[in-house]
Amino acid sequence: MRAPASVSLNAPVRVCVRVCSREESRAGRQERDSIQRGGSRASPRVDTLNEDSRQGRRRRLKETEWWTAATRLRGRLFCVRQRARVLSPCDPAQRGQTLMMARRRMMGGARSLMLVLLGHLASALDVPLDLPQPPTITHQSPKDYIIDPRESIVIHCEAKGKPHPSFSWTRNGSHFDVEQHANVHMKPHSGTLVVDISRERAEHYEGVYQCTARNKHGTAISNNIVVRQPRSPLWSKEKIKPIIIQEGVSLKLPCRPPAGFPPPIVFWMDNNFQRLPQSNRVSQSLNGDLYFSNVLREDSRNDYICYARFPHTQTIQQKQPITVKVLTQEPVDERRPTFVVPSVPSSSKMVLHGQVLEMECIAEGLPTPDISWAKVSGELPATRASFLHYQKTLRVVNVSEADAGEYRCTARNRHGTAHHTVHVTVKAAPYWLSSAPENLVLAPGENGVLTCRASGTPKPDIQWAMNGIPVENSPKDPSRKVEDDTIIFSDVQMGSSAVYQCNISNEHGYLLANAFVNVLSEPPRVLTPANTVYQVIKNHPALMDCTSFGSPVPRITWFKDSRFGTLDAETHNVHDNGTLEIHVAQARNSGKYTCVAQNSLGIYENHVHLEVKEATRILKQPEYRVVQRGRSVVFECKVKHDPSLVPTMTWLKDHGELPDDERFIVDSDSLTITGVTEGDAGVYTCIMNTTLDHDSASAELTVVEVTPTLSVVNERPEPPTDLELTDQKKRSVQLTWIPGDEHNSPVQKFVIQFEDTLHHHRGHWHNLTEVSGSKTTAHLKLSPYVHYTFRVLAVNSMGVSRPSLPSKTYKTEAAAPDENPADVHGFGTEHDNLVISWKPLSGLQANGPGLHYRVMWRQKLLDSEWTAVTVANNSKFVVSGTPTFAPYEIKVQAVNDYGAAPEPAVAHGYSGEDLPVAAPDSVRAYVLNSTLAEVHWEPVPPKLIRGYLKGYQVYYWRERSLHKHNGHHTEKQILTFSRNHSHAKLPGLHPFSLYSFNVRVYNGKGEGPPSATQQFETPEGVPGAPSSLTVTNANVDSLSLDWKPPRERNGVLMGYTLKYQPVNSSNELGPEEELALAANDTSVTLLNLKSSTRYKFYLNAKTHIGAGPAVTQEAVTVTDEAVASRQVDIATQGWFIGLMCAIALLILILLIICFIQRNKGGKYPVKEKEDAHTDPEFQPMKDEDCTFGEYSDNEDHKPLKGSRTPSSGTVKRDDSDDSLVDYGEGGDGQFNEDGSFIGQYSGQSASRDAAECPQSSEAPSPINPMNSLNSFV
């Protein structure tokens, strides 16, 4: 059947070929489209690289047939992928069953696995929407649109393009003006029509609709969308007479439902709306009639009611009830079967390809006959054929041409048989052989092919159109040539973009598809998001996308880590669509990968990352447990997983969810069941899921009744016996045994051990595996070239049994090694060698005699040939004569007398280091302040470092101070900076100094030559404190100070600042005086000071930058310098000495008299006069000031109140307020107002003073006795 003449070239776009399911086929086309495009552009038949256009044309024409066949495979491939996609468990309640189903389905072999993996390579790729392109219809309503009277009519038409397309509609072949219909509007930026039927009858909008999307690059058209209203006509009224029938006779109850649209669903019920029971005796035919092969007395009833349900109108109609009365007067004779449907010996039936074939045979007879089916010319399709209505209907889905032929149904009872033959003819509406034509993107000057390959019965006609106009009526294009179902484009040019329609039709239907040709000239771009992170489990395939677009088609190249990191072609594979596949991912494959898309117009890079994760494995599986009712049981499930993956533990019971019972306690690695009941018995499964993988293990729980404990004696089990080896193979063997007595404690597990008498002495037993205590066999995986002897130990709750007797020795054949040495390293011990080391294989890993190693190396980046040597009985090899610190690729392969291990992985190393041969360049210094400088340099090129860069060292030293009085300093200092620094800071410098420095690079061998020595000067800073401060020539009102300049001048001295202030008896500081001194001054005399007064001095030096720290000192002025001088002169005279002795004697006598008078109660009025005699200017003397001498830094002083600069000494106040000075001071005698002689206490005061100043190193001053003498005068 051809499309209607008025729209013969505007027929529907295409139909869905049901390869898997409706959803699978839609996604499958997208997957297949991506595979055909090769991950680059619209069509695989135009995958030209940077080659000549003529060569590309010839190549693509040859590939056309290949792609047609390959696409058929890809259609099936996507079905496999869709089925595999549902294997990952989602619902915990079904996870256990799902896992087992997944494992069974995945046992299809490596080929099935590869098909599933290749599904990853298929992904829909469109022209980026920022590029010019003709319209493409992305969504449209189905061909048959049945109106829902309760909702608005929505006819979808969505399209994309650049610029965005405009939309228009036709109805019944004529233009449909949306603006003229008040109840119709078109969605914004869309072609979707919305019809409001709430105010108008729906049948007004029935018809055939078609959408057109156009922009300046072309026109695309949608399917013919037939919009129809559902109809559910009423049942015609009729009066049905009761049916009276003899028992055993056949009966037909007609239904004849009204013809509606869509056809109704028919069923029979009674007055209570209960379905009438059916069987092989009573059944409903395809047209709805109810047949009785023979009636029985119980078939009598008056409510046989036929119902017709119309789903789209949500209505159900019923026929008038039929009354059946069965008579039992005369018995009916039994009879052989005869067919009532069909009633003729043979019939014919035509069915369309892909549709459903239903054939029925209904027979009557007594007893009830049985129906069977067979295909005369072959066998029934097992996967597509099914039987309905108690074998009376044969149903075959997805019919193909192979289903044509003769089918025979047979009715049989004990009296005979009846046959009916159905001749089935299979016709076909047009269907795609490969896929619908696909969009084509070409660069100017390229060639391409559009193919519209379909089949049908009878053979369909093919018509081509461009932008909705028959191609023969379209503008001529010299680059276009139409050949039946193919359009060939040669040397296309800009401006040739268009949308082509392919219309395929025969008497049973038609197909129509859009495919655009877009001529673009675009540099490459990678559409895969940058820095995408791919995660994969170790030892699994890894797939990394590089979805690209460009015109001409970009060429995809992959690198690892850098543009120089080429990939091994044996372990890596780049697919046509740019996807990089690593066949077996290992940890070393982790890292950054770069895919480069390049064509004649440019180049584009994209980076992705691969993370190879460790697999999730259950290390300790739950074990079979036998538990008494009421006890507790614990199932352990310890798991190892990649630390970066988040695990989720799930427990199942009998492949379903755990009971919702608080007795079941799920921990991170265990399941505990408390208070066990009989219902808890079953199989428990732990499942550990991560985002990438999972693992599971199961164990059975058996619950037994509680037995009296007094009569039970638990002991360790007896050892197993009768060990036997069966199913002996090269790498495995089956071990069976008979368990020993359990001694009332069930065996939890059996431990299988082995002894290797070939590589070890007898008696060295090793654990091989463990099995559940419920098993008596174990399948043991073995290594080649081992002499195995096995034994078994039983374990129960009481302990481990004695070992069983050893089995017979089983010798495995030698074989080539399965693995290569690990920990392969390359390093140098001298500047001209390379030491290759590895971890040798053990005896079990050797797999055979004559183990040695093939050591291979070559210098990296030179593409040189591998050099190989054979090494035996060693794990190290030294390569001599190598270049200094050159990168090498290294491989170590295990070899024995039976062959070599698999190709080893490439390790990387460097030959030995040597001292660097170059110094840093462009060395310079920047002075930041007077004590800090920053050194900069250009790093040494890696080739000149000749080793692993450890860092840089800065040597610097102070040449001298810039002051003329300071000498030279040559002590060097070193600062070390690790890694690849290019600058460093030098702290702790001396101001106003000249520094020299150089920089050296160092590696693992040592440091290289120094750079040229550079110098820099630090600016001035504040000076240090003066070297010393000394008080000299203390007088009554003056003091002299001497000092020495600072040791660290740190610049040019501008002078000194002297500050001083008095200190009173309370240690409080008086007003401060400041004196500026010249830079060349080293002493000063301060005049007009107060006598007998302590002063504190602060002296600091200053430069242009500022003042430095101060040095402090304290001193005291004397009482009367002249008197002190005379006293010293008189003391040298003899007469003075005699006088002093007489005065002392007199004072002694007076003291005795005073003492006697005091004991008698006498009083002297002297105390009152002493209180009245107070000098307000008097400063008490301190115990250390009994003599006035030069101030010494060694004296201790008490801190002074109000002092700004603390002193290292302390000033102590005299413990006594009484002294000779209180009563006589200076050179004049003191008298009271009454003329009494106050000096009578002088002797006592003097003696007390002398007693309180024992530390004085000076001779006792005669000034006190002299004052007493003056008092007498």
Q: Answer with the residue of higher pLDDT: 968 or 280.
A: 280
Task: Report pLDDT digits (tens) over 321-355.
Answer: 999 999 988 778 889 999 999 988 899 999 999 99
Percent of the chain with pLDDT over 70: 79
Q: Answer with the residue of higher pLDDT: 1258 or 426.
A: 426
Identify the burial level of 529 via C-beta atoms within 10 angstroms of its C-beta, where 0-12 means exposed, 13-18 middle and 19 or more buried: exposed
Q: What are phi and psi of 455, to 5 degrees?
A: -140, 170
pLDDT band for position 182 (50/70/90)?
confident
Task: Report pLDDT digits (tens) over 68-117.
Answer: 333 333 332 222 222 222 223 333 333 344 333 333 333 333 333 333 34
From 158-167, 471-480, 1122-1131, the region with the lowest mean pLDDT: 1122-1131
Q: Which three-class secondary structure state does DSSP give residue 14?
A: coil
Tokens of 909: 């190393």
Average pLDDT of span 242-249: 90
Q: Answer with the residue of higher pLDDT: 11 or 1096.
A: 1096
Residue 464 has pLDDT above 90, yes or no: yes
Q: Answer with the residue of higher pLDDT: 1123 or 976.
A: 976
pLDDT on residue 1088: 85
pLDDT on residue 900: 92
Residue 1227 has pLDDT above 90, yes or no: no
Residue 716 has pLDDT above 80, yes or no: yes
Q: Answer with the residue of higher pLDDT: 868 or 23.
A: 868
- What count of residues does the chain have? 1273
Average pLDDT of span 1169-1190: 40
Average pLDDT of span 424-439: 91
Instruction: Report the Cα 837 to chain-centroid distance in Å.
Output: 34
Q: Alpha-carbon distance 763 to 486, whole Å?
A: 79
Percent of the chain with pLDDT over 90: 51
Most confident of 80-89, 591-600, 860-869: 591-600
Helix axes of 53-85 and 110-118: crossing angle, nearest 10 degrees: 110
pLDDT band for position 1037 (50/70/90)?
confident
Task: Report pLDDT digits (tens) over 1053-1073.
Answer: 889 999 999 988 888 888 888
pLDDT on residue 969: 63
pLDDT band for position 1132 (50/70/90)?
low
Residue 1188 has pLDDT above 70, yes or no: no
Residue 1096 has pLDDT above 50, yes or no: yes
Residue 926 has pLDDT above 70, yes or no: yes
pLDDT band for position 364 (50/70/90)?
very high
pLDDT on residue 970: 65
pLDDT on residue 1156: 87
pLDDT on residue 932: 93
Separation in Å, CA 1039 to CA 64, 1074, 1083: 118, 15, 11
Q: Answer with the residue of higher pLDDT: 115 or 274.
A: 274
Q: Answer with the residue of higher pLDDT: 1252 or 896.
A: 896
Q: Alpha-carbon distance 450 to 466, whole Å?
A: 12
Give just the sign of the alpha carbon dihedral 441, 442, 444, 449.
negative
E strands, 739-785, in order: 747-756, 765-772, 777-781
Q: Alpha-carbon distance 1002 to 806, whole Å?
A: 64
Identify the burial level of 1004 via C-beta atoms within 10 angstroms of its C-beta, where 0-12 means exposed, 13-18 middle and 19 or more buried: middle
Most confident of 30-39, 426-435, 1190-1199: 426-435
Average pLDDT of span 691-698: 92
Task: Report pLDDT digits (tens) over 515-549.
Answer: 999 999 999 999 999 999 999 999 999 999 999 99
Q: Answer with the residue of higher pLDDT: 1047 or 371.
A: 371
pLDDT on residue 533: 95
Tokens of 269: 């019920």
pLDDT on residue 329: 80
Place of tokens 């795609």: 432
Identify the burial level of 703 via C-beta atoms within 10 angstroms of its C-beta, where 0-12 means exposed, 13-18 middle and 19 or more buried: buried
How many CB atoms within 10 Å of residue 185? Answer: 14
How many CB atoms within 10 Å of residue 188? Answer: 6
pLDDT on residue 1211: 36
Q: Among 1263, 1226, 1271, which Cα is nearest to 1091's? A: 1226
Residue 5 has pLDDT above 70, yes or no: no
Note whether 430 and 436 are within 8 A (CB).
no
Q: Alpha-carbon distance 12 to 225, whole Å?
A: 8
One-letter-per-residue 3-state SS of 576-608: CCCCEEECCCCHHHCEEEEEEEEECCEEEEEEE
Q: Answer with the residue of higher pLDDT: 78 or 888.
A: 888
Peptide linkage before 458 cis (omega within 30 of 0) = yes
- Average pLDDT taken over every residue of the chain: 80
Note whether 355 and 405 are within 8 A (CB).
no
pLDDT band for position 643 (50/70/90)?
confident
Q: Answer with the residue of higher pLDDT: 508 or 711.
A: 508
pLDDT on residue 1240: 37
pLDDT on residue 966: 60
Residue 744 has pLDDT above 50, yes or no: yes
pLDDT on residue 1200: 40
Tokens of 998: 């150089």
Give every CB contact of residue 275 below 8 A, 6+ residues apart in sequence: 267, 268, 269
